[in-house]
Structure 1
Amino acid sequence: MSSPVIALIGNPNAGKSSLFNQLTGLRQKTGNFPGVTVDKKSGSWPIDAHTTATVVDLPGVYSIYPKSLDEQLVTDILANPAHPDYPDVAIVVVDASNLHRNLLLFTQVADLGVPVILALNMLDVARQQAKEINAVRLAMRLGVPVVRINARVGEGIDQLVKAVLNQLQSPTVAGKLFFDPAEGATALITDTKEQYKLDNNYLALQYIIQHDGFSFLNRQQQAGLDALISKYQFSEPTFQAEETITRYKRIATVVAETVTDQRPANQPTWSQKLDRVLLHPVWGYAIFGFVLLLIFQAIFAWAQPFMDAIDTGVAWINGQLKESLPAGPLTDLLTDGILAGIGGILVFIPQIAFLFLLVALLEESGYMSRVMVIMDRIMRKFGLNGRSVVPLISGVACAVPAIIATRSIGTKRDRLITILVTPLMSCSARLPIYTILIALVVPNQRILGLFNLQGLALMALYLLGLISALVAAYILKLVLRSRERSFFIMELPTFKLPRWNHVGISVWESVRSFVWEAGRVILAISIVLWVLASYGPGDAMQQAEAHTRQQNPTLTDDTLANLVASERLEASYAGHFGHFIEPVIKPLGYDWKIGIALISSFAAREVFVGTMATIYSIGTGDDEGVTIRERLKQERNPETGGPMYTPALAWSLLVFYVFAMMCMSTLAATQRETRSWKWPAVQLIYMMVVAYISAFATYQLMQ
């Protein structure tokens, strides 16, 4: 078999994703499951010298009966052998410390007739709880291979390889159904199997119960199943309740025979002791606020030396290229256009990396799940589902995957509200804008010797985004009425030490994605912007240069060169476009140069910095050694003669970018998830209106 499909299935927090990382390493990719818009993680796994498998990490579920879009996908694949991701072998990863609950999903998957392997994970946690599992006896009772693993450190992978190879060579399934629906609905199951050419009783039951959600059944087939349900007066809720009760009774027998529990009754684990503090209605929020404060302080303090080195290095390379390459349009395009634009993003890699590093550490340790629980108390007051916490927190990295993560929200209204407010969370694309503007107007000094003012300013902007998201959600809750009730159920994982290899993979993938996605956009925009800024209508630029030289005959060569470059830029196509929109943005304190950057950043927010780097590189003559931050500091207001980037202007821009919808990718994601252009339009309009009004008020009040 050249490329078998191995599916990883399991409850949330069972260690499935950890096993996926162990098996695939950096051989991973992200895409969509065929026929649906739910994202999947897949990767190649060289099992042995002759077999390389495709490992598919399916969404975490507690049962094959779905409550959300991503959960629906699991059954849609397992019930359809023709699906491209239908597994040759399914590895069901279970939390050994909570075997009773985890085995429910396992028995359902096994009953579907899929060749399955049970992977006992988190055995170390089970031992801490004084639990011992007899894996051999468990395998005999379940009738399938059982492998002991530690997905965090890679233990047991050799045994897992042997089990997978055996299942690929000689597929075996559990011999007896844990729950046989024919015992309670014999005629209905028999008719369904005959009409739909099925040979598995439990698969027939899934056709009956879940046919409306199966993408592989056409309307005629779904109507036929509806007719069978009516014919036999089948009660779905009653049957599902009976199934769950029956399964848990049989699972309890298996657990009693295979698990030895020596823990004294009611003795709390150390994770439970920590949770008494971290989930406390007062101390929980205080600790979370302190953690946020440390994160934003670290982003400035740790990243600054690396940023300075990159900033200086890019400026030095730019100067060297201008000296060594022949003067001409191609050299100007390379230095003033491409390198200036890309350099404006590269300088922020250290801060992006530290942000993703710290967030990954919180996720790996298990603390992020606690954050979701305590924030659920606040979310419900604003009309959001507790599961909305996951997309909102994810939005700190990027709004696009965060919007995709709303598929785990069961109710349509709560999911729509979460989609509409998630872009208000300050994503990593805003970080370059925040940091460069904060560095211009906020002193780099400490309070009480501990807290950096710039870090506090950055934290304030992130909190402003969170507060605005909650307020917007509350307003939308009043507008969008619904009778659906929502629930938030989350199992808290035990606290663990971070796995540095997984943290490293997470940071690398996140930074690479940020640089690659932003870099492509910036490269294209930098080239277009350089052309627009280097050429003008007719001989306007030549006339501007001649007029400037004629009016300023006494200036030094360097000063005259800078003035000429600035006048030529203003006479270019870019200058004309900037002046065209200047009346609209003038009340916010912005000039035509900032206007160009605002428009270009609609492609992606981070383009703002790259655009400013390109504009000021073109407009500053031969001053090659000056970094973009120094250029912004040196920029003068032509009307006042003072600094252009005053605190009023800088804070107006900062507030504008907190609220503004300046990301086409996010709008596209909203359209894809809502399947309508109505909601992206609503999102764009309300965010831009709030951004304009807020920036206007900020500038006018601070002037």
Structure 2
Amino acid sequence: MSEQLKVALIGNPNTGKSTLFNDLTGLNQKVGNFPGVTVDKKTGNAKLPNGHSVEIIDLPGIYSLYAKSRDEQIAFEVLYDRKGKLRPDLVIVVADASNLKRNLLLYTQVADLNIPVILVLNMIDVAESNGLKIDINKLSNKLGIRVVAVNARQNKGVDELKQAIADATRVATQLRTIKVEELAPELIGEISEKFAVSSPYEALQLAHQHENLSSLSSEQSDLIESLEQKHSFHSSSNQAKETVARYNFINDLLFDCVKQDESAAGETFSNRIDKVLTHRFFGLIIFVLILFLVFQSIFTFAEYPMSFIETLFLDIEQGLAKILPDGVFTNLLINGVVAGLSGVLVFLPQIVILFFFISVLEDTGYMARVTFMMDKLMRKVGLNGKSVVPLISGVACAVPAIMATRTIESWKDRVITILVTPLMSCSARLPVYTLLISLVVPETKVLGFLSLQGLALLSMYLIGFFAAIGAAWVMKRIVRSRERGYFIMELPIYRMPRWSHIGLQMYEKAKTFVTEAGKVIIAVSVILWVLSTYGPSDSMKAIDTKYETLAKTTSNNAKLLEQEKSAEKLEASYAGILGRTIEPVIKPLGYDWKIGIALITSFAAREVFVGTMATIYSVEGEGDDLVSVRQKLASAKNPETGLPVFTVATAFSLMLFYAFAMQCVSTIAIVYRETKSIKWPLIQLTYMTVLAYVASLIAFQLLK
């Protein structure tokens, strides 16, 4: 091979294509965007037995080359555009061996494009357990290609696949599956004459998809359109004829190559479980119980590692205070950087536990059932069934969830889904929720085993979900659409989770949280320390003079005077001035000016709230009084009333504010990128801010 071979992986969703990609490439992967679009592209390098390296391209999962969304459109564009940098020399079609009839439809389409193909039968163990006996050699001979059976989850058959790639040529060997010319002979003939196509099926695909292909000029597209009118070509009816012809071919093929062992036939294990887990009534109850167990575990299992991290940072702060000389740098390091960072890292165990459970639910196949069950509810509020996937993904992070809306064909349904997805409580809200709940909700049990704190946390997530559903219902009546959406989803079989895969997911999420959120938090903490430490020189000098006089003329406790001085300096600082400026607006919500500062700084990222409160109370407190952020906030008193700052009314008002407010610059940026308009992010920011303010106001006024 004179140049590196390009190999594209293509297949239906849930066929194990991404797992096979990971098996082939290992850690040699990178994620980017396909040229000119925001669709994610995964590429990697695989080492072959002959020593050569090939580039593997993981194409979006699709059921057919006839695209209904931009993600699906990309797959055909990559296969068609011979001048494109990603045009593959070889295509690996990944099929679910236990469901060949449906999976082979895509294979027949790709094969007829006249690109060299290898067929991979994944999940061969599942097919065998279902009593299916596939004659690999006969299937290979009838198709004229190499067929490889693999079990990607267990990395079986991958070496044989690598050898098949090494043996592959750049010349297509597969036999044609159907007589494409018979579908539209005159049109295919004329397009083949005027365009450099490699097969009759490529000419037919141009007739179907020319309007969406960016590699075609407007003149070329207009020419194809005129040829369609000339020959009275109707795309939808032609696709129907083609599909019937392809399934006739597939039925004959499977009759010869696949046999069913009747003794092993019967209801599958997954179907028996689904009768319970996807039951129209009990299924939803089970889902809510699973959610409760997840949130209960977040409090129960995370308590010990959180206490360890709190103690560790207190030791670090005390150690630094002892070895470093008093001064601005020491103050910045301890009360700015370390205090801000510890206020967030202490919640890392909870983030890890949340993603552990999400990964387990996804890997076992249960999360797919959740989306299936929620489809009916989505339709009742007027959303597309495919909106379920972004909403469920929003529990982890709104950014990838909003990107997942690309599979929704209806533009209006997609926009509404984008607008409501950030209302789902993401992992960034978790530190805020758990901190405030731990302050005002007692660690008591309901009915002897239900944790009150776990129930409170579950309620915050349910509030976000129902808010998203309600907002979608309202928007659907404002933004009307005649387009009808549909929801097609392949339910994977239930499998034991892959613990190595889950461990890798937890590591990646924890790493992202620490590196991405950590950078923002440290930067904000340093800026906040400066704003909280310094203020107008006249005011600061006046406070210093006042307390120097008091120290000489009164017998008050020196430590008490120092604390009063710190509190006055914080209020006179630039941060204090900013907080006092917005205090009249937020006071009806139960917030003081310190909380107001946190609301402003956490606009960069919600997690910053905790670090901000830690920094503010570190600056205000005595230098040698180093306590954890939870203790600092629990002991904070309102100077006017003498009551705790964080009462039940204030805490729940604040949680509702964070549940509904758009406190995330990254989400605003991704909404702008996905909608290509500043209008939608502004609408989203406005309605979420108003909703947050009104909900918080009502909650505080009712609970105070």
What range is the shorter-chain TM-score in? over 0.9
Name the residue aligned to 2:419.
420
Distance 2:425 2:387 in 1: 16
Structure 2 residue matching 1:43: 3-state secondary structure? strand
Contact 2:365 2:494 in 1 (8 A): yes
Name the residue aligned to 1:126.
127
Aligned pair in 2 of structure 1 residues 263, 344: CA closer, same or farther (>3 Å)? farther
Question: Alpha-carbon deviation of 1:545?
Answer: 3.0
Distance 1:532 1:242 in 2: 70
Q: Does 1:441 align with 2:453?
A: no
What aligned pairs does 1:252-267 form with structure 2 within 5 A after superposition?
252-263=251-262, 267=266
Question: Alpha-carbon deviation of 1:549?
Answer: 4.5
Task: Tell which deviates more after alignment, 672-681 or 26-35.
Answer: 26-35
Aligned pair in 2 of structure 1 residues 510, 86: CA closer, same or farther (>3 Å)? farther
Aligned pair in 2 of structure 1 residues 260, 579: CA closer, same or farther (>3 Å)? same
Name the residue aligned to 2:395.
396
Q: Does 1:661 align with 2:662?
A: yes
Contact 1:333 1:530 in 2 (8 A): yes
What aligned pairs does 1:393-542 form with structure 2 within 5 A after superposition?
393-542=392-541
Paired residue type of 2:647: T
Name the residue aligned to 1:251.
250
Structure 2 unpaired stretches of 5+:
none
Name the residue aligned to 1:10.
11
Question: Alpha-carbon deviation of 1:138?
Answer: 1.0
Name the residue aligned to 2:694.
693
Name the residue aligned to 2:333.
334
Provide TM-score, normalisation by structure 2.
0.97
Q: Does 1:322 align with 2:321?
A: yes
Contact 1:384 1:473 in 2 (8 A): yes
Aligned pair in 2 of structure 1 residues 593, 258: CA closer, same or farther (>3 Å)? same
Task: Tell which deviates more after alignment, 436-445 or 46-55.
Answer: 46-55
Distance 2:128 2:563 in 1: 72
Contact 1:34 1:84 in 2 (8 A): no
Contact 1:344 1:609 in 2 (8 A): yes
Aligned pair in 2 of structure 1 residues 25, 557: CA closer, same or farther (>3 Å)? farther
Structure 1 residue matching 2:626: 3-state secondary structure? coil
Aligned pair in 2 of structure 1 residues 433, 75: CA closer, same or farther (>3 Å)? same
% identical aligned pairs: 50
Distance 1:86 1:514 in 2: 36
Question: Alpha-carbon deviation of 1:49?
Answer: 7.6
Aligned pair in 2 of structure 1 residues 543, 412: CA closer, same or farther (>3 Å)? same
Name the residue aligned to 1:673.
674
Aligned pair in 2 of structure 1 residues 4, 625: CA closer, same or farther (>3 Å)? farther
Paired residue type of 1:229: E
Aligned pair in 2 of structure 1 residues 216, 438: CA closer, same or farther (>3 Å)? same
Distance 1:25 1:322 in 2: 45
Distance 1:439 1:414 in 2: 38
Distance 2:353 2:631 in 1: 24
Deviations 1:399-426 (A, max 9, x none): 0100110111121121111111000000
Question: Alpha-carbon deviation of 1:676?
Answer: 1.0
Structure 2 residue matching 1:55: 3-state secondary structure? strand
Q: Does 1:578 align with 2:569?
A: no
Structure 1 residue matching 2:121: 3-state secondary structure? strand
Distance 1:292 1:344 in 2: 26
Structure 2 residue matching 1:429: 3-state secondary structure? helix
Distance 2:5 2:334 in 1: 49
Aligned pair in 2 of structure 1 residues 639, 25: CA closer, same or farther (>3 Å)? farther
Deviations 1:181-237 (A, max 9, x none): 323323322322232222221112111110111121222221121122122221211
Distance 1:5 1:536 in 2: 61
Contact 1:315 1:624 in 2 (8 A): no
Aligned pair in 2 of structure 1 residues 329, 647: CA closer, same or farther (>3 Å)? same
* Alignment length (residue pairs): 701
Name the residue aligned to 1:202.
201
What aligned pairs does 1:66-215 form with structure 2 within 5 A after superposition?
66-167=67-168, 170-215=169-214
Task: Tell which deviates more after alignment, 559-568 or 45-54.
Answer: 45-54
Name the residue aligned to 1:291.
290
Paired residue type of 2:374: M
Contact 1:542 1:568 in 2 (8 A): no
Aligned pair in 2 of structure 1 residues 584, 12: CA closer, same or farther (>3 Å)? same
Deviations 1:108-131 (A, max 9, x none): 112112222111111111112100
Distance 1:148 1:283 in 2: 38
Paired residue type of 1:607: V
Task: Tell which deviates more after alignment, 247-256 or 332-341.
Answer: 332-341
Aligned pair in 2 of structure 1 residues 441, 676: CA closer, same or farther (>3 Å)? same
Contact 1:180 1:202 in 2 (8 A): no
Deviations 1:95-116 (A, max 9, x none): 0001111001111112112222
Contact 1:144 1:172 in 2 (8 A): no
Structure 2 residue matching 1:220: 3-state secondary structure? helix
Structure 2 residue matching 1:512: 3-state secondary structure? helix
Contact 1:549 1:564 in 2 (8 A): no
Name the residue aligned to 1:627.
628
- RMSD over aligned Cα atoms: 1.7
Aligned pair in 2 of structure 1 residues 53, 607: CA closer, same or farther (>3 Å)? farther
Distance 1:160 1:109 in 2: 19
Paired residue type of 2:270: S
Contact 1:581 1:592 in 2 (8 A): yes
Structure 2 residue matching 1:92: 3-state secondary structure? strand
Contact 1:399 1:666 in 2 (8 A): yes
Paired residue type of 1:278: L
Question: Alpha-carbon deviation of 1:245?
Answer: 0.7
Deviations 1:239-268 (A, max 9, x none): 111111111101111111111111369821
Paired residue type of 1:351: Q
What aligned pairs does 1:611-622 form with structure 2 within 5 A after superposition?
611-622=612-623
Distance 1:98 1:215 in 2: 34
Structure 2 residue matching 1:158: 3-state secondary structure? helix
Distance 2:334 2:47 in 1: 44
Structure 1 unpaired stretches of 5+:
none
Provide TM-score, normalisation by structure 1.
0.97
Distance 2:116 2:17 in 1: 18
Paired residue type of 1:496: R
Paired residue type of 1:37: T
Aligned pair in 2 of structure 1 residues 605, 316: CA closer, same or farther (>3 Å)? same
Distance 1:134 1:316 in 2: 66
Paired residue type of 1:21: N
Question: Alpha-carbon deviation of 1:3?
Answer: 4.5
Paired residue type of 1:53: V
Structure 1 residue matching 2:259: 3-state secondary structure? strand
Paired residue type of 1:672: R
Distance 2:258 2:587 in 1: 72
Task: Tell which deviates more after alignment, 364-373 or 19-28.
Answer: 19-28
Distance 1:690 1:301 in 2: 32
Structure 2 residue matching 1:461: 3-state secondary structure? helix
